[in-house]
Chain A
Amino acid sequence: MSDYLWDPNAEPDPEIERLERLLRPLAARTHTAPVLPARPMRWMTARFLAPALGVAAAVLLMVGVTWQSASRSFGWAVESISGDPRVGSTSVGSGGHLGVGQMLVTDSSSRARIDVSSIGQVTIDVNSRVRLIESRDGRHRLALDRGTLRAMIVAPPGEFVVDTPSARATDLGCAYTLHVDDDGLGLLSVQSGWVAFEFKGRESFVPAGASCRTVPRDGPGTPRYDDVDQPFQDSLDEVDYGGDPKQTEPSLEYVLQHARPRDAMTLWHLVSRVDAARRGAVVDALAARVPMPNGVTRDEAMRLDRASLDAWWNALGLDDASWWRVWKRAYPQ
């Protein structure tokens, strides 16, 4: 046997090499694992929970299961906008349902619309794959593995959540578009209201008219308004994902010098993202656009004191940060 057939590092066999060249475009392209659904029940848990569940079921029977809850357990209504979207292997056609654990897939010519319980609608664009992870009162969660979804949600903050391979988008009452490509790179663009984008404690608050990228392993970048110019966008990307702070120093300089007053939103996020050596310059740049509110000191900002940064956020005139914190405490992720 050719050594090369066994070991791709051996001297190439021209014929096998030609077959490799032909076949390599067919290799696995998806680089990010799907978002995990809620943790499956372990058998120990199941054993101890079983009696409790039995009692709960009896209580449910006693009070009667309403038609509404019965219909809710049937999943979310889905309809085709174009083409042949599928839930599992079933064509959606003019009406179907997406149940918890099920996957909705659109190909290059199909789009679908989902009714999210009674709180809004989500449109799934072409070449997309979404899964319904959870749906119960006050808590609805989708996973967008790839493709594009457009959400229009009218509900209290935090009721609707979309997981992507590199960040979680929490609806704060708004309309937004979320795209994830095959590499897990994501882009969130908010049309109205607010979205919180979060990955392992790294938070971005994205207001209407702004966008935010997200990258596997690094999480969400710094949000920026869509009307900033390209050099500003590029510099911000460099600061977010460029690695070595020394090399990204000129990019940070550019951002600090060219930020407009409304870009204080961007600078506020940068305060907690740059290293301590560069934080002073960011704090000063932010203070030049939006003065520190009474009671907030430069030292506290430098120490990333949460209450001080929240107070400064509130001074930006965008919205109050407190309800987000309150919501997070009430619904730990």
Chain B
Amino acid sequence: MKAVPSFVEQVLAFPRLRPALKSGGAAEEAAPRPGGASGLAATIRAAADGDQDAFGRLYADHVRLVHAILLGRVPRADVDDLAQDVFLTAYSRLDALRDPSAFGSWIGAIARNRATDFLRQRRPQVELPDELPGGDAIAAESLAVLDAIRRLPEAYRDTLLLRLVEGMSGNEIAERTGLTSASVRVNLHRGMKLLREKLELP
């Protein structure tokens, strides 16, 4: 009698679906939605009424923004959970959002506040390195670069993480954050200059 694979093995043995999932995956759907601002307003209204699909679209379009903001502030292991928290908090307050076009900057502010609350509430504890045995393997050099970015001023930090970690273009960063293109350009330029200095790159 054949051995029945473990539960997680069965899920992991389902790779055929993953390319399709990824290609249509939420986090990669960064292009603006058809309908522009009015489309976004309709999506927000539907999400506020409990429409899971509409909420999923908001999530898909903004998860990288929230992720980058959190990654710049809290331990890596807590980022995913806090990102979910941020979206659920946003959902519970959608009625209070007056200007739908400001959704990106609004949820960005929720993410920053959530990170601050998290760091404030954390009990005093021994600081552990960001990479622990048993976690997913992230190169030490990657973590060193992340650490250097985390020590940059806030505006440069967020913008650089959106560009270098989440792979967003300058235009996309401007669209998601609500910053002007000129501000994003300045943040990228100055942030990169400071990062080079910190990493002692030529």
Contact = CB atoms under 8 A, between A and B. Distances in A.
Which of B16, B81, B122, B141 has most chain A Cβ within 10 Å? Answer: B81
Contacts of A8: 163, 167, 169
B76 interface: yes
A30 B16 contact: no
Interface residues of B, number: 70
Given A22-B145, A33-B87, A43-B95, A108 B134 contact: yes
Given A108-B134, A148-B7, A177-B7, A129 B84 contact: yes
B59 A33 contact: yes
B81 A129 contact: yes
B117 to A, nearest CB: 9
A185 B14 contact: yes
Contact of B189 (A5, A37, A109, A213): A5
Contact of B142 (A25, A42, A89): A25
B71 interface: yes
A213 B134 contact: no
B169 to A, nearest CB: 5
B88 interface: yes
Interface string B78-118: 00110111011001100100000000000000000000001
Interface string B23-63: 01111000000000000000000000110100110111001
Nearest to B71: A26
Contacts of A107: 77
B84 A27 contact: no
Interface centre among A26, A29, A37, A42, by most chain B C-beta atoms within 10 angstroms, is A26
Given A30-B63, A42-B95, A185-B21, A1 B26 contact: no
Instruction: Determine chain B's interface SS by DSSP, over half rule.
Output: helix
B11 A28 contact: no
B60 A23 contact: no
A68 to B, nearest CB: 29
Contacts, number: 165
Where chain A touches its partner, the secondary structure class is loop
A24 interface: yes
A6 B169 contact: yes
A27 B166 contact: yes
A33 B192 contact: no
Contacts of A177: 7
Given A6-B169, A28-B83, A22 B49 contact: no
Contacts of B201: 15
- Of the candidates A31, A43, A183, A227, the one having the most CB atoms from chain B within 10 angstroms of its own CB is A31
B59 A26 contact: no
A266 to B, nearest CB: 16
Contacts of B139: 22, 25
Contact of A215 (B17, B138, B163): B17
Contacts of B63: 28, 30, 33
B180 to A, nearest CB: 14
Contacts of B185: 1, 6
B165 A26 contact: yes
Interface string A36-50: 111110110000000
A179 interface: yes
Nearest to A182: B80
B142 A32 contact: no
B188 A1 contact: yes
A189 interface: yes
Given A103-B81, A184-B21, 6 more contacts: A5-B189, A22-B139, A26-B76, A31-B22, A39-B49, A179-B11
27 contacts: A8-B167, A22-B141, A22-B142, A23-B161, A23-B165, A27-B27, A32-B56, A32-B59, A33-B52, A33-B63, A33-B87, A34-B84, A35-B52, A36-B91, A38-B50, A42-B95, A89-B121, A107-B77, A183-B22, A185-B14, A185-B17, A189-B7, A189-B10, A213-B14, A215-B17, A217-B24, A229-B2
